[in-house]
Chain A
């Protein structure tokens, strides 16, 4: 607990079980922690970003070149005709590229947040940075990937001959719900995964299974099995992937209302994730 006393001096109190607030307390505490640690979050991202391009001939060009080179093979497969499994409103190569890019935000956010504490063990043990700031500082990298993927998507859309809609500019907003969903799971895993180290790999495997019941690389219309169709329909991630893709490519999408409800659910899950995080965060340091 921290407060400013009558002399204007900050007072910090440490005692057992001080994180005894409710769900909204978690949100308020998170906003305070993030505001107080904004410089730390920026500086940690800046450090890791800069360090990865040092001692490279192309330097910062790799920030753009890496993802662009990644899609060359994708376009090659498209032009030689390998990626033409079926007809849909959206060309398959674009369908898969955007689908997998949006989907990638989920494991990306889960991985970044869940490993945030274990990856910064030294800082946890030696500094007084709020643990939430360390857990979510890696999300800055996810945000950076989202911005870069807007460029790669534009390149592919133009090469394939599909004019992107104005929704492409809203891409960061469109994928925000799936990032929040990943953050919610990541927050829980960041603390529980430190206590029991096999929880995070288990969840990562489970996430790979969820991808199979999400229309990321296949067209929903090609699924004939009614059970699988039903699972896809009940899978909330389906909407978080499909709606942004349709909006970007077609300017319209079915199930927007469901998407909004799922987005609201993601916000609720983040709130719950924060609560769990704050309840358990003090158990983390002694297990690093």
Chain B
């Protein structure tokens, strides 16, 4: 069995929540250390765990994609692995030379030429002068700077500077490579070259740790994934499973964020007796003839209330209405909003072939069963309204009335486009002419 290149055992790191607490505990810790006393490894008032009890192991050739929302501890973990931060608990063992693409462009002096900066940055990244000299031409070729290599770096475009920094960092052949959101540099051809270089290193046995918000980049490079949330490792394992879990959690977070919005929080606790604004521009409003009190999302299989459904899983929307005045030719309508787009789906009772001549005052429950939905994984919010055919205004409207999450399927990874909202099952044939 090959030895692990990266072994992370129960690593934790805590920070102060404010500059004041950082100063206070910094001085206390300094005094403790200088007087030979043990450090306080407990969480003290005004501190938080930026990283807590993270454990994983990577063999040569493994690539780990580290995912999590901002503040989840990704960069802290990478900085601990890079030796920038010392862990407050646990242990990190790195076997072999460590290269860090987070250091791309480190130490560049704008007054000096690209050539001179190659020597400076190369040295700062741990190369010896002889090694830099040997790899100089390769670095210049990779950066595609050509004749501009003797021009001062301050006259470079931002893309040229980043390309040079990346080239210096990536040309070394480390056993462990730390990468932080830097694969989106330069034009598409350069990005392709960067990916190819990283994959070539991986094939040679380099262990790669990649932090990125771009699931596509992680899926392209990594075979393992680590999902961090508030410093906690929620999932470590196969990259597709972790990507799915990360995206599903993102969808749930979006759902919670919408539910916490003040407008959306206007519930119908008073069972429809409160007066609604009789104008547009609110989350809810209407003429007062009818009101939707609640929307529940139920599993079609067991009729239990759920907050998320699996991809392609049928589900039921259950609406409770109270009708105050008789409504002629009522039409019940709902639409879905995705994260990036509004009104991606419209479900209209008349379009669906359901028409009622009128409905009398009273309470009603409407169940809408979506049997063959193909919404892609993500968060969706529901808007609902009641109109009357022949009356050109809403009798009732409610934006953001409820929200739900569509989870990733277990049998496939829908990774291609985070903005896409609908999946079309398609038959595909490829033939050579």
Interface residues of A (CB under 8 A from B): 5, 9-18, 39-40, 43-44, 46-48, 50-51, 54-55, 122-129, 191-192, 195-196, 276, 279-280, 282-283, 285-287
Residues of A within 8 Å of B90, CB to CB, are 15-16
A-B contact pairs, 20 of them (CB 8 A): A5-B95, A9-B96, A9-B175, A11-B95, A12-B92, A14-B80, A16-B89, A39-B129, A44-B107, A44-B120, A48-B109, A54-B152, A122-B106, A126-B100, A126-B102, A127-B103, A127-B124, A127-B125, A279-B30, A286-B15
Number of residue pairs A-B, CB distance < 8 angstroms: 130
B345 lies within 8 A of chain A by Cβ? no
Stretch at the interface among B33-41, B137-145, B210-218, B274-282: B33-41
B317 lies within 8 A of chain A by Cβ? no
Known: A10-B97, A195-B23, A286-B15. A43 touches B91 (CB 8 A): no
**Which of A13, A16, A48, A285 is in CB contact (< 8 Å) with B93?**
A13
Stretch at the interface among B111-119, B257-265, B349-357: B111-119
Residues of B within 8 Å of A10, CB to CB, are 95-97
Cα-based distance from A283 to B86 in the complex (angstroms): 8
Q: Return A122 CB to nearest CB of chain B, in Å.
A: 7
Most buried by B among A10, A17, A128, A280: A128
Q: Which residue of A lies closest to B101 (CB)?
A: A126
**Which secondary structure dominates chain B's binding surface?**
mixed
Cα-based distance from A17 to B103 in the complex (angstroms): 25
Interface residues of B (CB under 8 A from A): 15, 22-23, 26-27, 29-30, 33-34, 38-39, 41, 79-98, 100, 102-103, 106-107, 109, 111-112, 116, 119-120, 123-126, 128-129, 152, 175
Q: Return B291 CB to nearest CB of chain A, in Å.
A: 54
Known: A47-B120, A50-B116. A285 touches B95 (CB 8 A): no
Q: Are A285 and B92 in contact (CB under 8 A)?
A: no
Q: Which residue of B lies closest to A15 (CB)?
A: B91
**Which of B26, B83, B86, B106 is in CB contact (< 8 Å) with A196?**
B26
Given A50-B112, A280-B34, 19 other A-B residues pairs in contact with their CB atoms under 8 A: A9-B95, A11-B95, A13-B93, A15-B87, A16-B90, A40-B123, A43-B124, A122-B106, A123-B106, A126-B100, A129-B124, A191-B30, A195-B30, A279-B30, A282-B85, A285-B79, A285-B84, A285-B85, A286-B85
Cα-based distance from A125 to B100 in the complex (angstroms): 11
Q: Are A11 and B93 in contact (CB under 8 A)?
A: yes
**Which of B39, B83, B92 is in CB contact (< 8 Å) with A17?**
B39
Q: Are A195 and B26 in contact (CB under 8 A)?
A: yes
Q: Are A128 and B26 in contact (CB under 8 A)?
A: no
Q: Which residue of A lies closest to B23 (CB)?
A: A196
Residues of B within 8 Å of A287, CB to CB, are 22, 26
Cα-based distance from A79 to B128 in the complex (angstroms): 52
Q: Return B165 CB to nearest CB of chain A, in Å.
A: 10
Cα-based distance from A47 to B126 in the complex (angstroms): 16
Most buried by A among B109, B111, B123: B123
Q: Are B91 and A14 in contact (CB under 8 A)?
A: yes
Q: Are B30 and A280 in contact (CB under 8 A)?
A: yes
Residues of B within 8 Å of A46, CB to CB, are 120
Q: Are B94 and A12 in contact (CB under 8 A)?
A: yes
**Which of B86, B98, B102, B119 is in CB contact (< 8 Å) with A12?**
B98
Residues of A within 8 Å of B41, CB to CB, are 16
Q: Return B84 CB to nearest CB of chain A, in Å.
A: 5
Q: Are A16 and B86 in contact (CB under 8 A)?
A: yes
**Which of A5, A43, A51 is in CB contact (< 8 Å) with B123?**
A43
Q: Return A21 CB to nearest CB of chain B, in Å.
A: 12
Cα-based distance from A287 to B94 in the complex (angstroms): 25
**Which of B29, B80, B97, B103 is in CB contact (< 8 Å) with A126?**
B103
Q: Are B124 and A11 in contact (CB under 8 A)?
A: no
Residues of A within 8 Å of B97, CB to CB, are 10
A-B complex: 9 closest residue pairs judged by Cβ atoms: A282-B86, A195-B26, A14-B92, A43-B123, A51-B111, A126-B103, A15-B91, A12-B94, A54-B111
Residues of B within 8 Å of A192, CB to CB, are 30
Q: Which residue of B lies closest to A278 (CB)?
A: B33
Most buried by A among B107, B125, B175: B107
Cα-based distance from A71 to B106 in the complex (angstroms): 38
Residues of A within 8 Å of B30, CB to CB, are 191-192, 195, 279-280, 283
Q: Which residue of B lies closest to A197 (CB)?
A: B23
Known: A127-B125, A192-B30. A14 touches B106 (CB 8 A): no
Q: Which residue of A lies closest to B11 (CB)?
A: A14
Cα-based distance from A227 to B5 in the complex (angstroms): 65
Q: Are A14 and B79 in contact (CB under 8 A)?
A: no
Cα-based distance from A282 to B30 in the complex (angstroms): 11
Q: Are A40 and B96 in contact (CB under 8 A)?
A: no
Residues of B within 8 Å of A196, CB to CB, are 23, 26-27
Most buried by B among A18, A51, A279, A286: A286
Known: A39-B128, A287-B26. A13 touches B111 (CB 8 A): no
Q: Return B23 CB to nearest CB of chain A, in Å.
A: 6
Residues of B within 8 Å of A126, CB to CB, are 82, 84, 100, 102-103, 106
Q: Are A276 and B92 in contact (CB under 8 A)?
A: no
Known: A12-B93, A50-B116. A283 touches B124 (CB 8 A): no
Residues of A within 8 Å of B39, CB to CB, are 16-17
Q: Return A83 CB to nearest CB of chain B, in Å.
A: 38
